[in-house]
């Protein structure tokens, strides 16, 4: 019997791949998805593996985010028009779906799928410290 997590991952993948221009990617360890200070070209749905979030100056500890329990998207959709405060690097081999910025901006379908599948978004903003 398949676990709930596996079903969630497959549901997200099948729904997003039904949209035009969504691309399957295999992220290799060390591959940079978003450079700090650059504008993201789109969203990455991380279905397996993990990524590391780092700031350009190294002022904050890297944050590792895994898709083991549930898939997530990065960056948060409201950050597509902002320069990334943190970079995104593949920490361990990852199965990814790339959702181009243009598809997000011209279609409500992506947002509906992410909401319907309860996919969380990870921010590239630098977390505030207490």
Which sequence spans correspond to the domains of the chain?
A: 4-120
pLDDT digits (tens, 9 = 90+) for 74-117: 999 999 999 999 999 999 999 999 999 989 888 899 999 998 88
Q: Rounded to two decimals, what is the model's pTM? A: 0.88
Fold entry, domain 4-120: Jelly Rolls (2.60.120)
Q: Give 43-64 as a DSSP string.
A: EEEEEEEEEEEEETT--S--EE
Give residue 58's pLDDT: 67
pLDDT digits (tens, 9 = 90+) for 13-53: 999 999 999 999 999 999 999 999 999 999 999 999 999 99
Give residue 60's pLDDT: 67
d(CA 66, CA 91): 9
């Amino acid at each position: 019997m398949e676990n709930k997590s596996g079903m969630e991952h497959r549901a997200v993948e099948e729904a997003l791949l039904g949209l035009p221009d969504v691309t399957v990617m295999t992220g290799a360890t060390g591959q940079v998805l978003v450079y700090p200070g650059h504008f993201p070209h789109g969203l990455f749905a991380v279905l397996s593996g993990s990524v590391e979030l780092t700031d350009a100056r190294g002022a904050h500890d890297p944050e590792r985010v895994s898709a083991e329990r549930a898939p997530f998207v990065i960056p948060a959709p409201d950050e597509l028009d902002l320069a990334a405060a943190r970079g995104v690097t593949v920490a361990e081999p990852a199965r990814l779906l790339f959702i181009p910025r243009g598809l997000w901006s011209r279609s409500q379908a992506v947002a509906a799928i992410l909401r319907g599948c309860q996919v969380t978004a990870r921010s590239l903003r630098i977390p505030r410290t207490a």
